[in-house]
Amino acid sequence: MDLKWQQHFTFDLPVVPHGAVWVHACSMGEVASVVPIIERLLAEKKHVHLTVVTRTGKAHAHRLFADKISCSWLPWDLPLLMARFVQHLQPSLLLLCETEFWPGMFKACNKQQVPVIGINTRISDRSFPQYMATRWFWSRILAPVSLFLAQSQVDAQRLQAIGISADKIQSVGNLKFAVQAPEVDAQQVRRRVDPSLQRPILVIASSHADEEAQIMPSLSTWTRQRPDLLTLVVPRHPERFDEVAALLQQQGIVFSRYSAGVRGDESVILVDAMGVLTELYTVADLVFIGGSLVPIGGHNPLEAAVCGRGVITGQYTQNFREVMLTMQQQGAAIVVQDKDELQAAILRLLQKNHELQQLHAQATLWMQQQNQVADKMWDIIQPRL
């Protein structure tokens, strides 16, 4: 039974031992980023209760942890509802991911004397002007937070600018750097999409509306260079699966749906399943990160990088600006301005295998250098448990 609405209104309260560590992560990306901290909490024999806002976030939490933690929907941020939830939960600590700033939550935690730590805190380019315009409000609302562990120095400066005391802010780094490669049998994953185990695989990851239409005309150019090229299209949102399927049909492209199994003669597989993208990175030869040819802001390139895959992305990368800039400087990412540059970049990598291998090698090296972020964050959190 789906208890979403009952839990939003606190008609159904989760059964959680008092003194649990409460972790709030809005959606799938935030849940994935906080995994290293949850794993350390579990190793310390702490009970973890995770609250989420999206269905994909809840499903991802279940896939990752099953019954190792408890999980529920976050109540609506109304004073009475949040107060009732916090009083019932009686957590020893709240770890709040990114910018999940909920006034009712902070007020309830303050009243119940629950310490709050913001982890992986970020203030995006888009939201910063809004925070600045209402900083008198946010400086008061965020006062109960004991500590903010910011993703970057820029985020730390923005927190200060909206009225947070400097002694409450530490720039630790992006917890999403601490992602781990999925524990999967890569050969089995490959066999699912490529029974021959020999075809070069291009993954179009987390694509949005209009991106597939921009990319599809390039498929014929790429397949002329590599006739055996297999392209996996992974739309960001499941409600677009049928829309993308219709687009492929209109273009006359031979494709299969991942959920129905592959034949072996298709040039494209529409990955109409959730939660499989990270394992597909383990078998990808080329990776394009979507949400970047259109002004969405891009998606997380680290899940590919931790699998040893450098990435290609469009110009709209503001959601991961610092990450992408660093990866590009390291030689682990290629940023293109439009669909024509994307076509040329992938064609070049198909022709020049040594350049492709160098891209992947740099991604591997860079990720090895980043895996200390979770350790730094844990060293700060652990004494406060």
Do 208 and 296 form a contact (C-beta atoms < 8 A)?
A: yes
- Strand pairing category for 116-121 and 93-97: parallel
Q: Write the DSSP assignment of 186-220 as a string of letters.
A: HHHHHHHH-TTS-S-EEEEEEE-TTHHHHHGGGHH
Residue 176 confidence (pLDDT): 77
Q: Partners of 287 in the beta sheet?
A: 203
- Region 347-352 average pLDDT: 97
Q: Indicate if 175 and 215 belong to the same structural domain.
A: no
Lowest mean pLDDT among 166-180, 205-219, 305-319: 166-180
The whole-angstrom separation of Cα 5 and Cα 379 is 37
In this structure, what token pair is assigned to residue 101?
């700033």
* Domain with 283 in it: 186-370
Residue 47 confidence (pLDDT): 97
- Region 178-190 average pLDDT: 88
pLDDT tens for each residue of 224-259: 999 999 999 999 999 999 999 999 999 999 999 999
**Nearest by Cα to 95 from 23, 2, 16, 196:** 23
Residue 246 confidence (pLDDT): 97
Q: Indicate if 195 and 159 belong to the same structural domain.
A: no
Residue 125 confidence (pLDDT): 87
Q: Indicate if 138 and 252 belong to the same structural domain.
A: no
Q: Quick one: residue 123, left, alpha or beta (phi over 0 = left, psi -120 to 50 = alpha)?
A: beta
Residue 19 confidence (pLDDT): 93
Q: Indicate if 173 and 200 belong to the same structural domain.
A: no
- Region 277-296 average pLDDT: 97
Q: Indicate if 190 and 173 belong to the same structural domain.
A: no
In this structure, what token pair is assigned to residue 92?
């020893």
Residue 86 confidence (pLDDT): 97
pLDDT band of 42, cuts 50, 70, 90: very high
The whole-angstrom separation of Cα 230 and Cα 173 is 36
Q: Indicate if 338 and 214 belong to the same structural domain.
A: yes
In this structure, what token pair is assigned to residue 143?
């006062």
pLDDT band of 295, cuts 50, 70, 90: very high
Domains of the chain: total: 2
**121 has pLDDT over 60:** yes
pTM: 0.66
The whole-angstrom separation of Cα 108 and Cα 103 is 9
Lowest mean pLDDT among 2-6, 56-60, 87-91, 218-222: 2-6
Q: Indicate if 202 and 351 belong to the same structural domain.
A: yes
pLDDT band of 322, cuts 50, 70, 90: confident
Residue that the structure tokens 């492929």 belong to: 248
Residue 333 maps to which CATH number?
3.40.50.2000
Q: Indicate if 211 and 279 belong to the same structural domain.
A: yes
